[in-house]
Amino acid sequence: MPSRMAQWGNDLYAGRRSYDIVGRRRRWFTVSAVILLLTIVALLGRGLNGGIEFRGGTELVVEGVAEATQQPAVDAVERVVTEEVPRVSVLGGDSVRVQTLPLDDDEIAEVRTGLAAAYDVDEAAVSYSTVGPTWGQDVTSKALRALGIFLGLVALTMTVYFRDWRMAVASIVALLHDVVITVGLYALVGWEVTPATVIGFLTILGYSLYDTVVVFDKVRENTERVGEQHRYTYGELANLAVNQTLVRSINTSVVAVLPVASILFIGAFLLGAGTLRDIALALFIGIVVGTFSSIFVATPLLAWLKQRDARSAAHEAEVRRRREAAVAAAEAGPSTGSVRVGALVPGQHLGTRAQPRRRRPQSRPSGPGGRS
C-alpha cells in the first residue's frame, strides 16, 4: 500500500497521472456554495451557543462526586432560583459543572449548599466564579479586530510575495470560506463557544493559509514564463501545480487531523474530557475544510481571475488556436511541417513530456587511424 501511494504521488508530480481540478472548477464552486449556504442558514437560524464567558453568569464546579449525573445539579439550582434553567455538564468522571445566570452572594451560598448535599461532598469541594457580560463583549470585539488585521496583513504579504494581487484575493476568499463553514457547522452542532473555540477558529486560519501558500508557490513556479510558450494555458499549468502538491496536502492534513481527532473522539467522548472538545471540534472542521479550499477553491479561483486578464485570455486563445490547427493538420494527412502543442485533453498535461527533447549527438566519420 505505501509503495502504491508513493507511485501515485510520483505519477502526479511527473505528470503521468493528472486530475482536472481547475478545469472542473464549476463543480467545486457549486459544492462550496451549497455547503456555505447550509452553514449560513444554520448560523442565522440557530446562532452560536455562547458560553458563560460571552453571555456572563455564574459557574459552579462540584469536584470529587461519586456519581457524575446532571439531574441533582438541576434540582439544586431550581430550588433556589425557580425561573432558572441551568446548563450542567460532566467534566471527566468525578466533576460536574453548573452554569447559570448571574447570582448574588446569598443565592450562590444557597446553591453551593444544595449542590454539596445533592452530591454528598463537602461544601469546600464546590468552587464558583462569576463572569460579567462585558468581558465576553471585549473578547469578541478583540477577536474580530484581530481577524481584520490578520486578513489585511495576509493580503499585503501575499501581494508582495507573489507579485500578483489575484493570489491575495484567492487566498482571502479561501480563508473566509473556511471560517464561515467552520463557524456554521459549530452552530449546527450546538456546542458552546468558549475562548478555546475562538483560539481554534484563529488557528485554522494559519493552517489554511499555509496550505494555500504551498500550492500557490508551485503555481508561480509552473507559470513563471507561461507567456513565452504556446503549448499550455495558465489554467493547465496551475492544474499541474495542484496535482504536484496534492499528495503533500493530503499527507499534511492526515498528520494534523489524527491527533485532533483523537482529542475530539477519544478524549472528549470516551474519556469525558469536555474542556478539550471546544478547540478540538474547531480544529477538526477547520483542517478538513482548509485542505478542501486550498485544492478545490483557491487555485481554481485564481485561474478564473487570471482568465479575466486580457493578456492571459489572448494567450489562452492562441494556445487553443494552435491545437485546433494541429488537429486539422493531423486529419488532413501527413505534412512536412508540424505544430507543437500541448495536450488535447484538459487535465492531461503530462509534465515530463513538456520538457524539451535532447538531440542525440551524431557520430562523426572516422579518419585514418581514428575510431568511429
DSSP string covering 114-129: HHHHHHT--GGGEEEE
Q: What is the pLDDT of residue 43?
A: 87
Between the CA of residue 88 and those of 124, 127, 130, 333, what are the distances in Å? 19, 14, 16, 81
Helix (H) or strand (E) holding 95: strand 95-100
% of the chain exceeding 90 in pLDDT: 17
What phi and psi, each to the nearest 5 degrees, are found at residue 76? -65, -40
Strand partners, 340: none
Which residues are paired to 251 by β-bridges?
Answer: none
Return mean pLDDT, the chain. Answer: 81
Hey, which residues does 88 pair with through a beta bridge? Answer: 98
Q: Which of 13, 6, 32 is nearest to 221 (CA)?
A: 13
Q: Which amino acid is located at 56 in the chain?
A: G
For the stretch 89-145, pLDDT in tens is: 777 678 888 888 888 888 889 989 988 888 888 888 888 888 876 776 787 788 788
User: What is the structure's pLDDT at 331?
Assistant: 75
Q: Can you tell me the mean pLDDT for 350-368?
A: 50
Kindly state the average pLDDT of the residues 283-288: 88
Cα 108 to Cα 167: distance, rounded to the nearest angstrom = 55
pLDDT beyond 50 at 10: yes
pTM as predicted:
0.74
Report the pLDDT value the prediction gives residue 336, as an integer from 0 to 100: 47
**Could you say which DSSP state residue 226 is in?**
G
For residues 168 and 155, the answer to whether their CB atoms sit within 8 Å is yes
Between CA 277 and CA 258 the distance in angstroms is 14
Cα 136-142-143 angle, rounded to 5 deg: 90
Taking each helix axis from N to C end, the angle separating 105-119 and 71-80, rounded to the nearest 10 degrees, works out to: 150
Average pLDDT (286-292) is 90
Domains of the chain: 2-50+135-311 (1.20.1640.10), 57-131 (3.30.70.3400)
Burial class (CB in 10 A: 0-12, 13-18, 19+), 119: buried
C-alpha cell, 272 = 469525558
Report residue 63: phi and psi, to 5°.
Answer: -110, 150
Strand 57-63, strand 126-131: pairing: antiparallel
Distance CA 179, CA 142 (A): 16
**pLDDT at site 6:** 73
Percentage of the residues of the chain whose pLDDT score is greater than 70: 85
